[in-house]
């Protein structure tokens, strides 16, 4: 994918990935030349099959991995010159498995850990923690031991502990794995809220319905490359490419595409859109 | 680090084909031999012999280099430190305050270094050429209770998994602004609590799930176990065993029967 040159919005660019290559073992490339620019306030979904390089790319964004060649800059500064802890101030990363980070004896302590590490103190710290707990609906549970709670609650704690650091960019790695529909909806609406506050969201996921519903930009990865970088509508229209990257659009998108043969005009990303297209000009839905 | 948790390299050399019990016996016998030999030159020959076997095992070069580096560093450390602590003998080479270095101590240091080198390197013969499955099977066939054999197998199997879990936990805590290298020793050791607690919890959850998985596959339903793979000693295995035994017996006989210094 060639990045669109866009000098007018250069100042809005918060993370730039430029021609990044990376390999874990020195043989098989995990990233084979990736270029990607993230602007402030974007909601980007990174999708792709297993082993396509999604997580590797995400770990580049907060400095957990450093490029073997090419550059990654966060707010204009190369990640090579900054530690992960320094970058955490600007880029938060919520890991897939909450059990890989919870270690405190209360939820409150757990959420406090990150902002405390960043040097926040006193009222400022308490305010950040309080707001994160509220966003993830954890205020009731704040004195409970995290490890005794359910997976959905533990995931919320791990996310709260990241958003409490108040970083501008938030990366969510498969945040809905193992959650039921209600928990997924609640979590996704919390993430929407964070995006509305102006935070940049990077969502790594397999779930195309989440992409259709929430993302405003979709980056499709396959074998360490970005093969498509567009809006969800554009991403889902290229069925062959998605299949080649071992993915499928949500059923409703496929249904709308099939209905085109029968005269449906346009594409649908949600059941509502499909209904609108079907009943448009027929006096609405009865 | 992750790449070297399993040293086994697939192959079809005579060492790969050798019965794992013979290889275990070889490790034990050669280790004894390293203690029996006291002359530096014979120990060097033994070390060379062990490395010859390693070369014949055709392990991947990266693994061999890794193994070599470890053994050489260990040997160097012993050879350098030994003369500082062993002050006996003459002639004295350096004598400065508390430092008193003698020539025999340097020789003794070198001898111990090579001996420890042998003791460390000999394990690679077994580890390079024996899959974990065969290793456990051999131990069970040599009389280890199957439960314990399985425990060993599971430990070996989960070691790399556990290493990658620790990596992932470390990454997660770094992403929360934890700096492992900062602060004094108390602060630093406290930082590791943030890794250890999730690691232990994850290990417990994993072992819990694993025990359920084992039970649901009827583990322990029969007390008289049958095995898919059986071990058979072949003529070459007996020959190899005889050679390894001879390697230990000949120097012992030379010393005690013929009074030759070895």
Q: pLDDT tens, B112-155? A: 999 999 999 998 888 888 888 888 889 988 888 888 888 888 88
Cis peptide before B91 (omega within 30 of 0): yes
Residue B172's Cβ-count burial label (10 Å; 0-12, 13-18, 19+) is buried
Look at residue B5 in the predicted model and tell me its pLDDT.
55
Look at residue B32 in the predicted model and tell me its pLDDT.
95
Q: B136 lies in a domain?
A: no
Q: What whole-number distance in Å separates Cα of residue A68 and Cα of residue A85?
A: 20
> What are the residues of chain A with a beta carbon less than 8 Å away from any beta carbon of chain B?
25, 59, 62, 64, 83-85, 88-89, 92-93, 95, 97, 99-103, 113-115, 117-118, 147, 161-162, 165
Count of domains for chain B: 2
Q: B55 lies in a domain?
A: yes
Q: Which has the minimum average pLDDT: A67-81, A141-155, A182-196, B85-99?
A: B85-99
**Local structure of A77: helix, strand or coil:** strand
Regarding whether B34 and B72 lie in a shared domain, the answer is: yes
Q: B84 lies in a domain?
A: yes
Regarding whether B177 and B81 lie in a shared domain, the answer is: no
Regarding whether B76 and B52 lie in a shared domain, the answer is: yes
Look at residue B172 in the predicted model and tell me its pLDDT.
93
Length of chain A in residues, anyone?
286
Regarding whether B110 and B18 lie in a shared domain, the answer is: yes
Q: B250 lies in a domain?
A: yes
Contact A100 B175 (CB under 8 A): no
Closest CA to A281 of A261, A264, A267, A268: A264
The values of phi and psi at residue B49, to 5°, are -60, -45
Alpha carbon A215 to chain centroid, angstroms? 9
Regarding whether B10 and B112 lie in a shared domain, the answer is: yes
Regarding whether B102 and B43 lie in a shared domain, the answer is: yes
Look at residue A267 in the predicted model and tell me its pLDDT.
82
Band of residue B1 on the pLDDT scale cut at 50, 70, 90 = very low
Residue B200 has which token pair? 């232990």
Q: B167 — contact with chain A (CB < 8 Å)?
A: no
Contact A95 B171 (CB under 8 A): yes
Contact A85 B198 (CB under 8 A): no
Edge to edge, what strands does the sheet with A13-23 contain? A29-39, A13-23, A69-74, A77-78
Q: B221 lies in a domain?
A: no
State yes or no: pLDDT of B35 exceeds 80: yes
Q: B16 lies in a domain?
A: yes
Look at residue B95 in the predicted model and tell me its pLDDT.
82
Q: What whole-number distance in Å separates Cα of residue B47 and Cα of residue B233?
A: 27
Per-residue pLDDT of B155-185, as tens digits, reads 888 888 888 899 999 999 999 999 887 778 8
Band of residue A283 on the pLDDT scale cut at 50, 70, 90 = low
Nearest chain A alpha carbon to B62: A25
Regarding whether B24 and B91 lie in a shared domain, the answer is: yes
Expressed as residue numbers, the domain containing B210 is 145-216
Regarding whether B172 and B111 lie in a shared domain, the answer is: no
Regarding whether B200 and B81 lie in a shared domain, the answer is: no
CA distance B2 to chain A (A): 10
Contact A103 B198 (CB under 8 A): yes
Q: What's the number of CA atoms in the CB half-sphere (13 Å) around residue B17?
A: 10
State yes or no: pLDDT of B93 exceeds 80: yes
Nearest chain A alpha carbon to B177: A85
Alpha carbon B233 to chain centroid, angstroms? 24
Q: B222 lies in a domain?
A: no
Regarding whether B178 and B111 lie in a shared domain, the answer is: no
Mean pLDDT confidence for A48-71: 93
CA distance A285 to chain B (A): 49
Q: What whole-number distance in Å separates Cα of residue A132 and Cα of residue A124?
A: 12
Angle of CA points A179, A181, A183, to nearest 5°: 55
Q: What whole-number distance in Å separates Cα of residue A222 and Cα of residue A130?
A: 40
Regarding whether B167 and B126 lie in a shared domain, the answer is: no
Look at residue A241 in the predicted model and tell me its pLDDT.
87
Q: What whole-number distance in Å separates Cα of residue B195 and Cα of residue B190?
A: 10
CA distance B184 to chain A (A): 15
Contact A117 B178 (CB under 8 A): yes
Convert A161-172 to b/e letters by CB count within 10 Å (16 or more is b): bbbbbbbbbbbb
- Asked if residue A52 lies in contact with residue A244, where contact means CB atoms within 8 angstroms, the answer is no
Look at residue A107 in the predicted model and tell me its pLDDT.
96
State yes or no: pLDDT of A8 exceeds 50: no
Mean pLDDT confidence for A84-107: 92
Chain A residues closer than 8 Å to B175 by CB: 62, 64, 84, 88, 92-93, 95, 162
Mean pLDDT score of chain A = 89
Mean pLDDT confidence for A16-42: 92
Regarding whether B85 and B19 lie in a shared domain, the answer is: yes
Look at residue B219 in the predicted model and tell me its pLDDT.
85
Chain A residues closer than 8 Å to B198 by CB: 99-103
Per-residue pLDDT of B2-19, as tens digits, reads 344 567 888 888 899 999
Q: B198 — contact with chain A (CB < 8 Å)?
A: yes
Contact A88 B3 (CB under 8 A): no
Q: Which has the minimum average pLDDT: A38-42, A242-246, B56-60, B243-247?
A: B56-60
State yes or no: pLDDT of B59 exceeds 90: no
Look at residue B9 in the predicted model and tell me its pLDDT.
81
Question: What is the DSSP annotation of chain B?
Answer: -GGGS-------SHHHHS-HHHHHHHHHHHHHHHHH--SHHHHHHHHHHHHHHHHHTT--HHHHHHHHHHHHHHHHHHHHHHHHH---SS-EEEEETTEEEEHHHHHHHHHHHHHHHHHHHHHHHHHHHS-HHHHHHHHHHTT--HHHHHHHHHHHHHHHHHHHHHHHHHHHHHTTT--TT-S-HHHHHHHTHHHHHHHHHHHHHHHHHHHHHHHHTTTTS-SS---SS-----HHHHHHHHHHHHHHHHHHHHHHTT----
* CB pairs < 8 Å spanning A and B: 70
- In chain A the domains, ranked by start, together with CATH numbers, are 7-247 (3.40.50.300), 250-286 (no CATH)
The values of phi and psi at residue A33, to 5°, are 90, 80
| β A77-78/A69-74 pair status | antiparallel
Mean pLDDT confidence for B41-66: 86
Chain B residues closer than 8 Å to A102 by CB: 197-198, 201
Q: B138 lies in a domain?
A: no
Mutate to test the interface with A, among B163, B169, B177 (most CBs of A within 10 A): B177
Per cent of chain A over pLDDT 90 is 66
Per-residue pLDDT of B217-227, as tens digits, reads 988 887 777 77
């Amino acid at each position: 994918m060639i990045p669109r040159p866009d000098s007018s919005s250069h100042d809005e660019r918060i993370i730039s990935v430029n021609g990044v290559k990376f390999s874990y073992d020195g043989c098989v490339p995990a990233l084979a030349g990736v270029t990607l620019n993230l602007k402030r306030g974007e909601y980007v979904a990174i999708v792709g099959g297993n082993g396509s390089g999604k997580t590797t790319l995400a770990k580049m964004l907060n400095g957990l991995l450093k490029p073997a060649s090419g550059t990654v800059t966060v707010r204009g500064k190369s990640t090579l010159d900054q530690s992960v802890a320094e970058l955490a101030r600007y880029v938060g990363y919520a890991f897939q498995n909450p059990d890989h980070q919870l270690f405190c004896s209360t939820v409150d302590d757990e959420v406090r850990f990150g902002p405390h590490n960043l040097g926040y103190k006193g009222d400022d710290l308490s305010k950040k923690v309080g707001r994160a707990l509220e966003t993830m609906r954890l205020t009731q549970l704040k004195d409970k031991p995290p490890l005794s709670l359910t997976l959905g609650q533990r995931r919320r704690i791990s996310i709260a502990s990241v958003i409490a650091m108040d970083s501008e960019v938030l990366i969510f790695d498969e945040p809905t794995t193992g959650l039921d529909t209600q928990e997924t909806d609640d979590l996704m609406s919390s993430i929407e809220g964070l995006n509305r506050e102006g935070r940049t969201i990077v969502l790594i996921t397999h779930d195309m319905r989440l992409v259709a519903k929430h993302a405003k930009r979709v980056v499709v990865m396959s074998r360490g490359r970005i093969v498509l970088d567009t809006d969800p509508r554009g991403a889902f229209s290229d069925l062959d490419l998605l299949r080649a990257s071992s993915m499928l659009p949500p059923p409703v998108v496929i249904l709308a595409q099939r209905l085109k043969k029968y005269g449906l005009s346009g594409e649908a990303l949600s059941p509502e859109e499909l209904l609108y297209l079907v009943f448009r000009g027929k006096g609405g839905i009865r | 680090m992750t790449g070297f948790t399993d040293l086994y390299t697939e192959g079809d050399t005579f060492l790969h084909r050798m019965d794992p019990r013979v290889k275990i016996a070889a490790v034990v016998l050669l280790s004894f031999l390293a203690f029996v030999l006291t002359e530096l030159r014979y120990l060097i020959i033994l070390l060379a012999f062990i490395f010859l076997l390693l070369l014949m095992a055709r392990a991947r070069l990266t693994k061999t280099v890794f193994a070599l580096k470890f053994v050489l560093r260990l040997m160097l450390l012993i050879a350098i430190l030994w003369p500082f602590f062993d002050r006996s003998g003459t002639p004295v080479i350096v004598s400065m305050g508390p430092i008193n270095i003698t020539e025999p101590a340097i020789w003794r240091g070198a001898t111990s270094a090579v001996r420890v080198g042998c003791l460390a390197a000999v394990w690679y013969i077994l580890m390079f050429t024996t899959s974990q499955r065969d290793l456990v099977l051999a131990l069970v066939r040599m009389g280890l209770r199957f439960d314990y054999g399985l425990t060993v197998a599971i430990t070996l199997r989960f070691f790399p998994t556990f290493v990658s879990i620790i990596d992932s936990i470390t990454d997660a805590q770094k992403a929360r602004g934890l700096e492992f290298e900062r602060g004094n020793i108390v602060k630093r050791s406290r930082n590791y609590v943030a890794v250890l607690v999730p690691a232990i919890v994850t290990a417990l959850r994993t072992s819990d799930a694993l025990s359920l998985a084992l039970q649901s596959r009827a583990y322990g339903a029969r007390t008289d176990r049958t095995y898919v793979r059986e071990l058979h000693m072949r003529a070459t295995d007996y020959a190899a065993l005889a050679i390894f035994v001879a390697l230990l017996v000949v120097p012992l006989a030379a010393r005690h029967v013929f009074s030759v210094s070895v």
